[in-house]
Structure 1
Amino acid sequence: MKTYIKYIALLALTATGFSCKQDLQEYNPAGSTAQTLFTTPEGIEAGVNGVYSYNRYFYGKEEGQALMEMGSDIWTNAANNGNTGTNGLFPQPPLMTYQGLTTDNVWVKTRMWQQCYAAINLANNVLKYLPSAGVPAARQKELEGESRFLRAWYYWHLVESFGPVPLQLEPTETILTTATRTPVDAVYEQIFQDLQFAVTAIPLTTTDYGRITRPASEAFLAKVYLTRGKNQEASNYAKKVITGYSYKLLPTYASLWSITGQQNTEVLWSVNYSTNLAFNAGSNLNHTLFLMEYNTQPGMKRDVANGFPNVRYMPTLFLLNLFNEQNDSRYNASFKSAWKANETDATKRPAGMNVGDTAVFTTKYPVTAAFRQSKKYKIYDVNDMYKADGTPSDRFHYVSLQKFDDPTRATDAETQSARDAYILRLGEMYLIAAEAQFNLGKKDSAAYYVNEIRTRAAVPGRQANMRVAAADVTLDFILDERARELAGEQVRWFDLKRTNKLVERVKKYNPDAAPSIQPFHVLRPIPQSEIDAVTNKGDFKQNAGY
């Protein structure tokens, strides 16, 4: 049974201090201030819980997927995502294709910049008032560890997205009119200081699902060390998480995505969404974002089992071709290729098609005209979905990611899901260890960790076919393996940036984005409203290229 961290809204206490005046003038009907709220242990606990809640602004959300997965080598625009020429409806394609990505992009501003700084400011309030709030000493250390971990977590998102950013370690209690962009190295120095404290202060386990634990904090520290090229440290922490605790890979990759088995031995940390959707302030929407428009096909109607098709994101042909599904179970566990007829009105089904028969089939392979004519169901083969160069030719119908499906929704019209959004899981630790060992020149060791993941992913009886030799391991191979294992889990953009492969692989594998991406796109634009708000504009400049 799920337990949940309870969240509170602290709008008046979480203004970033780097926003224009209208953003700072929040109405606070309760009259709460930091001085009154954080004077008791209960207020401190509520404040820490509130810092967690900001993950819900991007993990499991369309905005977060756009910022952290899209504009990469493995995803591109589906029909309802604002692309041109295909009846696009929604205005956010710059994060997908980089064309027109400007300093006023609303999701860069409101989701990544503002929400991360709001979370950091709340963490800073907790840290300031914690010593005098009457919290017992042991619990005080734990809460300091959590708050410093979370501050580091949000700063990592900022510094990786924007480069030098303002480094605030005290709460913003008045309107600031100046700001300075702290160098990346100095921001990371603070991130490491916070995390090194956290891994000694945070408990090993928790009964409050969704709260950070020591193994999870060590997992994040491994990722940060890898990001900064500290490969031995990254490897050490990844190995510790793999071998030092009771976490273990699930027997099958498909079992990771069971809606009834979300709390399992592989998940280190997740954003927990309540089954009472009213508590979520916006639930997980991932289940809607990757689905094709199946409901307009002959024999089909929208239902709970097949999901709510928002038709936002579709895989690049490159992503689909990364899998050899004869050996690798992750393809069929990750993607949906066939839809069964569910239309009970026989007049709306093709002649001879019964409920439960295949109604639609999508495939990354070409099919012959004879095969197509021999079937009652609608077929979309690779040549229907993609042009020869990989550019999508049908953005409504495609092989669809199903990892995030939620068949427990109350109705077919319900877009919100109680599915948790995994943030850190053990499978990624193997891949972090592999990448770190590869960077250290230890390809045998890198192959060992890759093979642990690939063996788990193997189709029964095909384990030997999945194993790779040390000579097979390259940085591009590791990135390919991360795509096979982690597609859609909101890590891809950061992966490509970390490995200095963003521009190269987007140009090579994403024909929608290839014409527009430039080297400066490895950083996001500083929101123009932040630059306009400061008086020391000479010290607070825009990233190059924007």
Structure 2
Amino acid sequence: MKAKILSYLLYFGAILFLASCEDFLKEENRNSLTSDPFFTTQSGYESLINSCYTPLRLWYGREDAYGITETGTDLFTKAAGNTNTTLNDYDPIAFNGTNTPLTNYWKYLYRGINSCNAAIGRAKNAVISADLKKQRVAEARFLRAFYYWHIVETWGATHFTTEETIGVQTTANKTAPEEIYEQIFNDLDSCINSNLSDKKNNGGRITIWAAKALKARLSLTRASETDNSQLYKQAADLAIEIIESGLFSLNPDYKSIWNMSNADGPTNSEVIWYVEFSNDHLYNKPEYDDYTIRNGGHNGHLLFCMKYDDQPGMKRDILNGRPFNRFMPTLYFVNLFDEAVDQRWNGSFKQVWMMNNPANKGKYVNMTDTAIYLYKGTASAEQKAAVATKYQLLDFND
């Protein structure tokens, strides 16, 4: 009898235990905030708009982006310090989806588009003023057009959507460039017809001038691709409107655009729109920790410098820059310039390095000031002999 009673108690105890486990396993999230209610608030929606801008820092001033867009063309090629020669050489084996820069930018440009799609789609529920909402949606539509422009010009027919992707998506479509450009121009027209700021600049945010300038540029892009005379006229009309606004002007001295005094977008008379970086590198950090490129700010000024610091008479200094020597101009590019009449030659290219390390002259025992001179042309044997002990004379053959 005792055994039966004990077995009944164990039986009912097991039932009670399982019931209590079921209650215990039911989860109720009491302390986290999902994106849906957060993005309806003003601060939440503003943070969503800000996230649309973030990928811009992953594109501009980055080594891999220069590799994708500049090298392997008639203007720029790989230099000795290049770390991804596949992009320049169009390597038939490695130039594919496993290439790190191509994979990264596919991922991050589409993340930017998804943020823009989310900002546009969620705007209707955002608790902000109607005017501000219209402006923020216009910013998101500009950036969506901007990212799709980079994608379609890099990959051609590719995946296209204007809806926010939520959760895992395992299928893709292959949309023709014509259809993607149709949406790009629709987005830009919507921006131009919105209440975007018409000031010269708006603290790095999109202005109506940025929208018109991008539409002019892309009109030229499509006109050259399709031989559409109407698009050429559209580009010209928009460009003339921007010029005649009186807000922007070219610097009379081309070289001055590289001066630090002109480095900030708001104070540079030539700049229509700019991507903001920060003096605090915490804010320049990529939005995702898995990004493989160099962290920090804009690196473009490092990537085109010649490796001068291991040459006789030279050591690394601030004036001559950190010589990452990733990219170099082609001879074709160099020969495009007539230095006698074109400011862009002396304003863009460095030909002379002044000695800053007299303790290491090497064979140039008579070096006094000049350490390296790059001669635009082919130097004669007599010219080289005349300076053989004074400085390095490097010409096209070098």
SS class of match (1:359): strand
Identity within the alignment, %: 36
Q: Find 1:156's aligned residue among 133, 149, 154.
A: 149
Over residues 415-465 of structure 1, what are the superposed CA-to-partner deviations in whole Å (9 max), with x where a residue is unaligned? xxxxxxxxxxxxxxxxxxxxxxxxxxxxxxxxxxxxxxxxxxxxxxxxxxx
Residue 323 of structure 1 pairs with residue 337 of structure 2: yes
Aligned to 1:361: 373
Contact 2:192/2:212 (<8 A) preserved: yes
Seen in structure 2, the aligned counterparts of structure 1 residues 37 and 364 have a Cα distance that, compared at 3 Å, is: farther
Letter in 1 for 2:330: T
Distance 1:350 1:298 in 2: 7
Seen in structure 2, the aligned counterparts of structure 1 residues 309 and 347 have a Cα distance that, compared at 3 Å, is: closer
Contact 1:215/1:245 (<8 A) preserved: no
SS class of match (2:320): coil
Aligned to 1:96: 88
Question: Offset of 1:195 from its aligned partner?
Answer: 0.7
Seen in structure 2, the aligned counterparts of structure 1 residues 368 and 206 have a Cα distance that, compared at 3 Å, is: closer
The runs of 5 or more residues in structure 1 that have no matched partner are 1-29, 82-89, 385-546
Residue 54 of structure 1 pairs with residue 55 of structure 2: yes
Letter in 1 for 2:300: N
Q: Which protein shows a greater Rg?
A: 2
Distance 1:300 1:359 in 2: 7
Q: Find 1:190's aligned residue among 183, 200, 203.
A: 183
Distance 1:170 1:275 in 2: 35
Question: Offset of 1:345 from its aligned partner?
Answer: 3.2
Aligned to 1:284: 298
Over residues 196-255 of structure 1, what are the superposed CA-to-partner deviations in whole Å (9 max), with x where a residue is unaligned? 011122211276432221111100011122222221211211111111341111111111
Question: Offset of 1:301 from its aligned partner?
Answer: 0.2
Letter in 2 for 1:181: K
Aligned to 1:227: 221
Letter in 2 for 1:325: E
Q: Say which structure, 1 or 2, has more relative contact order (CA 8 Å, 6+ apart).
A: 1
Aligned to 2:77: 76
Aligned to 1:253: 254
Contact 1:199/1:214 (<8 A) preserved: yes
Question: Offset of 1:339 from its aligned partner?
Answer: 0.3
Distance 2:44 2:200 in 1: 20
Seen in structure 2, the aligned counterparts of structure 1 residues 250 and 33 have a Cα distance that, compared at 3 Å, is: farther
Contact 2:249/2:269 (<8 A) preserved: yes
SS class of match (1:365): coil
Aligned to 1:272: 276
Distance 1:123 1:200 in 2: 18
Seen in structure 2, the aligned counterparts of structure 1 residues 347 and 314 have a Cα distance that, compared at 3 Å, is: closer
Question: Offset of 1:350 from its aligned partner?
Answer: 3.9
Letter in 1 for 2:109: C
Contact 2:78/2:328 (<8 A) preserved: yes
Seen in structure 2, the aligned counterparts of structure 1 residues 216 and 207 have a Cα distance that, compared at 3 Å, is: closer
Question: Offset of 1:372 from its aligned partner?
Answer: 2.0
Contact 1:34/1:125 (<8 A) preserved: no
Contact 2:157/2:177 (<8 A) preserved: yes
Seen in structure 2, the aligned counterparts of structure 1 residues 346 and 169 have a Cα distance that, compared at 3 Å, is: closer
Distance 2:373 2:32 in 1: 58
Summarize the alignment of residues 17-416 of structure 1 with structure 2, pairs less than 5 Å apart.
Answer: 33-81=34-82, 90=83, 92-100=84-92, 101-111=95-105, 113-201=106-194, 202-205=196-199, 208-229=202-223, 230-262=231-263, 263-281=267-285, 282-343=296-357, 345=359, 350-354=364-368, 357-375=369-387, 376-384=390-398
Question: Offset of 1:186 from its aligned partner?
Answer: 1.7
Contact 2:113/2:144 (<8 A) preserved: yes
TM-score (norm 1): 0.60
Question: Offset of 1:348 from its aligned partner?
Answer: 6.4
Distance 2:358 2:131 in 1: 61
Contact 1:294/1:309 (<8 A) preserved: yes
Distance 2:329 2:158 in 1: 33
SS class of match (1:167): coil
Letter in 1 for 2:215: L
SS class of match (1:266): coil
TM-score (norm 2): 0.82
Distance 1:250 1:120 in 2: 35
Distance 1:361 1:33 in 2: 61
Letter in 1 for 2:91: Q
Distance 1:47 1:206 in 2: 25
Distance 1:34 1:237 in 2: 39
Question: Which shifted more, 201-210 or 61-70?
Answer: 201-210
SS class of match (2:68): helix
Question: Which shifted more, 47-56 or 138-147?
Answer: 47-56
Letter in 1 for 2:283: F
Distance 2:86 2:393 in 1: 31
SS class of match (1:379): strand
Letter in 2 for 1:337: Q
Letter in 1 for 2:278: S
Distance 2:360 2:36 in 1: 67
Question: Offset of 1:32 from its aligned partner?
Answer: 5.6
Distance 1:32 1:369 in 2: 75
Distance 1:174 1:34 in 2: 13
